[in-house]
Structure 1
Amino acid sequence: MEAMTEEKILSFFQGCIPNDFSSRTQTQADRILRLFAKVREELLQELQKIEGAEFKLDTWKRAEGGGGVMSAISEGEVLSKANVDISIVTGKVPKAAVKHLHQAAKITTSLDESHFNLRVVVMKLNDGAEVGWYGGVMDINPSYLVPEDATHFHKTLKDMCDKHDASYYPRFKKWCDEYFVIPHRGEHRGLGGIFFDNLMSQEEGNFSFLESCTKTIIPAYLPILKAHMCDTYSDQEMAWKQLRNGRYTEFNLMHDKGMKFGLQLSGFRKETLFASLPLTAMWGYKLDPEPGSREDELVQVLRCPREWA
């Protein structure tokens, strides 16, 4: 696999945006790609310092056209469509942790328990009009409740949102809580964050908000990682983590819209989708936590989300 650089990412995606879009939309897509490539590179630079090894860029393209950026032709009012998307499931625990643990695993805030997805969708209609919007999600999914971590994560997101619109955080936090629900369990997937969609790309202020989201990923997440990367764990805690991984898997496979879209899309590389799942998970019979235990403390919050900021 190639070493990852911003220019290689941009070069790979050249030509993935349908050429029937206007020069304005082409320029906008390039700006989005540069923004996403930059945040990806900055985050991986930070993780490489912890990992002690270089991350590589793995590229793929669909035979039907597109790759990380997808293009499609559909019937009805939509003549063509372009989707530019970055999804970061900060994954697999750093080797630095192995110096302190027998297995690469975390309890309070594992690297594969933080999820960021930012996207822009642009469509060209039959009448020639071009419409587009931004969407995204930033959430955290720990195995044990650490209130100060949840407060830090949500407060960082709230401070960022408040700089743009005071209504954003409460609205997007509620949206996130409502989306990440596992109905058959009566639980939420994690401690939430923000979820937004349909922010019109024609409005420059919305691009500014998207840009702020990319700049917030590292300060929201990295301090939590560094605080817990050397935590030890018991066999009981490891077993509980595997059960929580099972819940995460259930949501992603049964309810996540992005996962369903990718599985139904012809030619989409399925390994990319399944990379978002935990490496290991466990299910069992009547494994509800003991009332009043640390495990039960998390479950109570998952059943009734709190306000953290």
Structure 2
Amino acid sequence: MEAMTEEKILSFFQGCIPTDFRFRTQSQANRILRLFAKVREELLHELQKIEGAEFCVVHAKNPHVPAGKFNLRFIVMKLNNGAEVGWYGGVMDINPSYLVPEDATHFHKTLKDMCDKHDASYYPRFKKWCDEYFFIPHRGETRGLGGIFFDNLTSEEEGNFSFLESCAKTILPAYLPILKGRMCDTYTDQEIAWKQLRNGRYTEFNLKYDKGFKFGLQLPGFQMETLFASQPPTASWGYKSDPEPGSREDELVQVLRCPQECA
């Protein structure tokens, strides 16, 4: 696999950085692209060591390997008076088909430890925001086991970039141990069928409620394939498909209906 160097990343996204923005804004964008390029290469390197294949978007086949979503962003608006307003946002959450308490604890504790290094109020505030944002009203449950969700952190404060940088560097330690610990678990056709139902929930949320998904659909020039490639490649729905009470599937659903503290 050919490495995507920082220079190639910057060249690829050059058209995404308007030349009429002030120098400071362009410098911030370049700095973030370099950060994302570095994290991307580290992630792809680790995945390639595991699977021995090239990757773009990753969809795990094993129902015991949870899906993880990591989305960090920098948005700038030019106002009518010429002023530029920029902010950071992001989400780091985990979406398993089966509840493994130690995995949930590891994921949330890793995020909490990272958040606490910046501000003790971040983790409880951003976790609550995540639980509320990823709630599916018509199902009465959250999309997954949550994580952190944040938005509107002004780019004028250097500490906010430092937090975004920490989030990027926490992706691997938060998720990789879970992936390695579950990737060799055996599974049954029944467990695959349950994973397909959970994929349906994920798809429902993104199509009906996710603001980022809708934003991408309305963004001029955005590559739609990129947006839809991030969705589960297969999903299913069933009539009265609630799991049997007391089953491992039901164990997950009970937590999704009442988010808990994990860290």
Please say whether Structure 1 and Structure 2 have the same fold, judged by a TM-score greater than 0.5.
yes
1:134-157: CA deviations, max 9, x gaps? 000000000000000000000000
Residue of structure 1 in register with 2:59 after alignment: 92
Does residue 301 in structure 1 map to residue 255 in structure 2?
Answer: yes
Unaligned runs of 5+ in 2: none
Higher relative contact order (CA 8 A, sep 6+): 2
TM-score, length basis structure 2 = 0.96
- Picking from 57, 62, 84, the partner of 1:106 is 62
Shift of 1:5: 2.7
Equivalent pairs: percent with the same residue?
83
Within 2, Cα distance between the matches of 1:263 and 1:250? 16
Does residue 233 in structure 1 map to residue 200 in structure 2?
Answer: no
Shift of 1:204: 0.5
Residue of structure 1 in register with 2:52 after alignment: 52
Assess if the C-alpha contact under 8 Å between 1:6 and 1:41 holds in 2.
no
Within 2, Cα distance between the matches of 1:298 and 1:126? 49
Shift of 1:122: 1.4
1:6-30: CA deviations, max 9, x gaps? 3211111224312221111111111
Q: Which amino acid aligns with 1:125?
A: L
Assess if the C-alpha contact under 8 Å between 1:157 and 1:216 holds in 2.
yes
Shift of 1:107: 1.7
Structure 1 segments (4+ residues) deviating >4 Å? none
Between Structure 1 and Structure 2, which shows a larger proportion of strand residues? 1
Within 2, Cα distance between the matches of 1:181 and 1:21? 37
- Picking from 189, 196, 219, the partner of 1:242 is 196
Higher mean displacement: 121-130 or 187-196: 121-130
Shift of 1:3: 5.3
Higher mean displacement: 225-234 or 12-21: 12-21
Does residue 169 in structure 1 map to residue 123 in structure 2?
Answer: yes
Unaligned runs of 5+ in 1: 57-89, 94-104
Within 2, Cα distance between the matches of 1:26 and 1:186? 43
Does residue 218 in structure 1 map to residue 172 in structure 2?
Answer: yes
Higher mean displacement: 45-54 or 163-172: 45-54
- Pairing 1:62-101 to 2, within 5 Å after superposition: 91-93=58-60
From the superposition, tell whether residues 55 and 144 of structure 1 become closer, same or farther in structure 2 (CA, over 3 Å). closer
Q: Which amino acid aligns with 1:120?
A: F
Within 2, Cα distance between the matches of 1:247 and 1:124? 36
Higher mean displacement: 182-191 or 15-24: 15-24
1:216-275: CA deviations, max 9, x gaps? 000000000000111111121111111111111111111111111122234322111111
Secondary structure in 2 matching 1:212: helix
CA RMSD in angstroms, aligned pairs only: 1.5
1:61-106: CA deviations, max 9, x gaps? xxxxxxxxxxxxxxxxxxxxxxxxxxxxx6133xxxxxxxxxxx21
Within 1, Cα distance between the matches of 2:143 and 2:159? 31
Does residue 199 in structure 1 map to residue 199 in structure 2?
Answer: no
TM-score, length basis structure 1 = 0.82
Q: Which amino acid aligns with 1:295?
A: E
Assess if the C-alpha contact under 8 Å between 1:3 and 1:55 holds in 2.
no
Between Structure 1 and Structure 2, which shows a larger proportion of helix residues? 2
Secondary structure in 1 matching 2:16: coil
Q: Which amino acid aligns with 2:65?
A: T
Higher mean displacement: 262-271 or 291-300: 262-271
Q: Which amino acid aligns with 2:46?
A: E
- Picking from 113, 117, 120, the partner of 2:71 is 117
Residue of structure 1 in register with 2:5 after alignment: 5
